[in-house]
Amino acid sequence: MRILIATNGYPAKKNPTRQVFVKNIFSELRNLNIETDVVFNQWFRHFRSDLGTGSFVTSAFRVLAMALSYAPWFFYRARKYSVIYSQGSVLPGIFVALSKPFHHAKHAGYAHGSEEEYLLKKGILFKISRFVLNRCDLVATNSRYMQNLLKKEYGCESVIIHPGYNHHVFCYEPGPKNIDIFFTGHAIERKGIGLLMKAISENREFYSAGNVSIHIHFSGGMEQHYHRLAKESGIDTLITFGGRLDEHVLVEHYRRSKIVVLPSVREPLGLVGIEAIACGAFLVASDTGGIKEYVQDGVNGLLFENGNHHDLHKKIVQALECYPSIEARQPEIARTVESFSVSESAKQTAAHFQKLRHE
């Protein structure tokens, strides 16, 4: 069996944190001695591109760059592969679907969660996504939540293959905890950064008097907006801000953190939350999407009512007050997400693809 992974973004010097999970599954499939290659949009090698940034012009250049990057693969080289595995139903899914008469490979499409965003408008991206997903030989997705959404809204069946956290990097190690609250993610609306800031702002006396250490790391289209929001609400002095971190630096932040906050208002799975738990951190997360599929309330985290900043603050206070007992259970906490490792993901992928190629 030979697999070609087709993806839009891929970790490179200009974008070291871009879709690292794709690189991880690529490496893990090779560790299983499965012949695997990857093709990606060369645009991302040469230009930094944070989520939520850009314009119509830059988007057009990206699509053109993707077409040029893929052309030699899909119209010639792809003939030698058993399965082409597209990471995204619109891009690169549409390129794989339209070129199938030339390569004849089985098309496995992965729906990571953008499909949930397409539903908000049900415009051209929704129609393209539905077209592609219903022409895939296999659709994979990351959670039961997404599996149900795809069936209800897109009319397609799917299998669950978790994207897989890099267990070679994200694992528990004892050490000092000098960060009380940690957030990392894209600076976009659905990640709930504004919700977290509102919880801090309305309870600034608690965070200030308790000398609570708060670290927020992000990059993306709304980055300046959130810096301005923090300054206007008077909480900029309470927060240490930073950019997105590559996984070898990120793991140290998880290990140094008492609580990791995942306040997303929409979240198909939330790999960040799984990585944090794998390092022994305690998660305070929105009760939404696929998050509840790995957060065991009271065991490895606490769930708060989605969109409710009052409940978010309440759960942060509860976690900080209970932290001594939480710290004693960190090795146990880390083990609760072992089934989400990239090693398990690669095994699931290989099993589904072996079955697919014989159908």
pLDDT in tens, 104-116: 899 999 999 999 9
pLDDT in tens, 299-352: 999 999 999 999 999 999 999 999 999 999 999 999 999 999 999 999 999 999
Query: In terms of C-beta density within 10 A (0-12 exposed, 13-18 middle, 19 or more buried), how is residue 104 classed?
Result: exposed
pLDDT in tens, 149-188: 999 999 999 999 999 999 999 999 999 999 999 999 999 9
Dist. CA 117–CA 111, nearest whole Å: 12
E strand or H helix at 305: none
Same CATH topology for 2-164+341-357 and 179-338: the answer is: yes
What fold is seen in the domain 179-338?
Answer: Rossmann fold (3.40.50)
What was the pLDDT predicted at 12?
Answer: 75
CB 172 within 8 A of CB 279: yes
What was the pLDDT predicted at 11?
Answer: 82
Dist. CA 70–CA 6, nearest whole Å: 8
Dist. CA 15–CA 9, nearest whole Å: 8
Dist. CA 260–CA 279, nearest whole Å: 11
pLDDT-based confidence at residue 71 (cuts at 50, 70, 90): confident
Is the pLDDT reported for residue 53 higher than 70?
no
Q: Could you give the C-alpha distances from 252 to 212, 241, 255, 278, in angstroms and in order?
A: 19, 16, 5, 12
What was the pLDDT predicted at 170?
Answer: 97
Domain ranges of the chain: 2-164+341-357, 179-338
Phi, psi angles (nearest 5°) of residue 260:
-110, 130
Tell me which of 119 and 47 has the higher pLDDT: 119
Q: Which of 31, 266, 76 is nearest to 168 (CA)?
A: 31
Is the pLDDT reported for residue 193 higher than 80?
yes
CATH number of the domain at 2-164+341-357, out of 3.60.20.10, 3.40.50.2000, 3.90.180.10, 2.40.37.20? 3.40.50.2000
